[in-house]
Amino acid sequence: MMKYISTRGNAPELTFEDVLLTGLATDGGLYVPKDVPQFSLEEIESWRDLPYTELAHKVIYPFVEGCVDSAALQKMLNEVYSGFGHKAVAPLQQIDHNEYVLELFHGPTLAFKDFALQLLGRLLDYVLERRHEKVVIMGATSGDTGSAAIEGTKACRNVDIFILHPHGKVSEVQRRQMTTVKGDNIFNIAIEGNFDQAQDMVKASFGDQQFLRGERKLVAVNSINWARIMAQIVYYFYSALNLGGPLRPMAYSVPTGNFGDIFAGYMAKKMGLPVEQLIIATNSNDVLHRLMSKNQYEVHPLQHTITPSMDIAVSSNFERLLFDLYDRDGAKLADLMARMNAKKDVVSLDEDKLAKARELFDSYAVSEDMTVATMQEVFGETGYLLDPHTAIGVKAARECRRNQNIPMITLGTAHPVKFEEAVLRAGFDMPKLPHHLTDLMEREERLNVLPADLATVQSFIAKNTFKD
C-alpha cells in the first residue's frame, strides 16, 4: 500500500484515503508519495494503443492501491471521461512542425482542472460512503478551480462545498460557471480582496478547524490535494504515447500559477516517461521565473491580468519540487519555507539545488502585449484561436525551446470562450459557448459577497453547514 509523507518531515505517514481527506499536513507541509511508482520503457510502450480511461488506470492505480478497488477505479474513470466533449479526451492540435497544443478543455467546465476534479468528486464519495462521514470542502479559486470543483462534487451526498473567489476579478463566464450550478450543498463566496487573500483564509482554516465544532473535517480541492496532481500525470503519458514516446523524449511548456500542473509533468518523468524539458510559463506574476533566472525568491504585490487563472503571487506546489531538490530533507525544507513564507527578505536557493532544477526546467515571463501578439500570430499561421493562458505557454515554448528535433507540447489549459477581454483585445470575435453551456448567461446566479475577513467567512461556513 502506498504511503504518503509530508514535505516538512514532521507529520504522520498517511494512506491515500487519509491524504485525500486531509489537505495540508499537520506540520504545514504538503503530502507526496513516499515511494514513486516506476515504469520501464517497455511497460510504457506497451500502453501505446490504450484509450485514455485505461491508460489513466495504469498510471493512477499504484497511488491508490489498497484504498480503492481496481474495478471501482476503472468504473470512476470511465464515468468521468465519457462525459468529456471529445472522444480522445485530451486531443493534440498541431500548430507547427513538431509543435503541438494538448487540448485539456473538453471537460464540462472547459478547463484542465476537470481532469482531476471530476475524479476527485467520485473518489470522495467512494471513501466517505465507506467511512459514513460527511466533510466540508473549502477552496479558493482564481478562476477555473472553483467551477471544476463544484461540477465534480455537486452530486456528492456527503459533501458541502464553499468556494471563495476574488470579487470582480474572474471573467464573467468563469463566475457564472460557479454561481449558476444548483444544489443545496453549494456555496459561492465572493471575497472583497484578491486570490492570495482568499487562499490565505483557506490555509488558516485548515490550520484551525474549531469553527466546524469537531463534527466535520475540511477537505482541500485545490492542487495541494495529492489526488489533483495524480490525475494530471496521465495526460503527459497520453500525449507522449501519441507522438512516438517513450522511444523519443518530449518537451512541455506549461502555463503556471500554482505549480500543480507542471509538477505532474515532473512526476511523469520520475515515473519513467522521458521528458527532456519542462518550461515554467508565467504572466507578470512571475515569482518562479525570477527564482529560476536570478535565484531570487521575492513575493511581489499581485497584478491582475487578462490571464486571471495565473494571477497568483505564491505557487504552493513549488514546495513539492523543493522537497526533492533538498534530497527530501524535511527539516531543511521547513527552514527554507519559513523564510520564503515570511515574505520579508529575498530568499535564494543553494546554488547546487538551483542547478539541479535547471537541468530540467526553464522559465519565461510573458507580458499582456506578448500574450495578445501570440494569440494573433498563431491564429494568423493556423486559424487556431488560443486562450490567453495557452498563448503564454506557446510564447514561452518558442523562446525557451532547447531541441527542435523533439516534440514541443504546450498544455492548452482552457477554452478561449472563457476569456472575453483577451479575445476581444486580440481583435477576434468571441467563439460560441459549447452546446451544454449555451444558456449560461441567462441562468440565475447565487453568490454571497463577504469582506476578506477570516472570522466572517468561517462564521458563514459554520452557519450553512450546521443548520440546527
Q: Is pLDDT at 426 greater than 70 in this prediction?
A: yes
Question: Who wins on pLDDT, 439 or 37?
Answer: 37
Range of the domain at 262: 88-110+228-425
Q: Which residues of 59-90 are buried (b: 16+ CB within 10 A; e: fewer)?
A: bbbbbbeebbeeeebbebbeebbeebeeeebb
Q: Is there a domain that residue 281 lies in?
A: yes
11-29 per-position pLDDT tens digit: 999 999 999 998 789 899 9
- How large is the C-alpha radius of gyration of the chain? 21
Q: Is there a domain that residue 241 lies in?
A: yes
Q: Is there a domain that residue 149 lies in?
A: no
Which of 31-40, 345-354, 363-372 bottoms out in mean pLDDT, i.e. has the lowest?
345-354
Q: Is there a domain that residue 302 lies in?
A: yes
The C-alpha cell at 19 is 491524504
The CATH number that applies at residue 343 is 3.40.50.1100
What local confidence, expressed as pLDDT, does residue 254 receive? 98
131-161 per-position pLDDT tens digit: 999 999 998 887 778 888 898 888 888 999 9
Q: Is there a domain that residue 144 lies in?
A: no
Q: Is pLDDT at 274 greater than 70 in this prediction?
A: yes
Q: Is there a domain that residue 201 lies in?
A: no
262: nearest Cα among 95, 74, 46, 104: 104
Catalytic residue among 3, 34, 87, 113: 113
What local confidence, expressed as pLDDT, does residue 91 receive? 98
What local confidence, expressed as pLDDT, does residue 434 receive? 85
The phi and psi torsions of 128 (rounded to 5 degrees) equal -70, -35
Q: Is there a domain that residue 456 lies in?
A: no
For 109-164, the DSSP string reads TSBTTHHHHHHHHHHHHHHHHHHT--EEEEEE-SSHHHHHHHHHHTT-TTEEEEEE
Number of domains in the chain: 1
Tell me whether residue 113 is one of the annotated catalytic residues.
yes
Return the ∠ at Cα 221 (arms to 453 and 19), rounded to 5°.
Answer: 115
Q: Is there a domain that residue 365 lies in?
A: yes
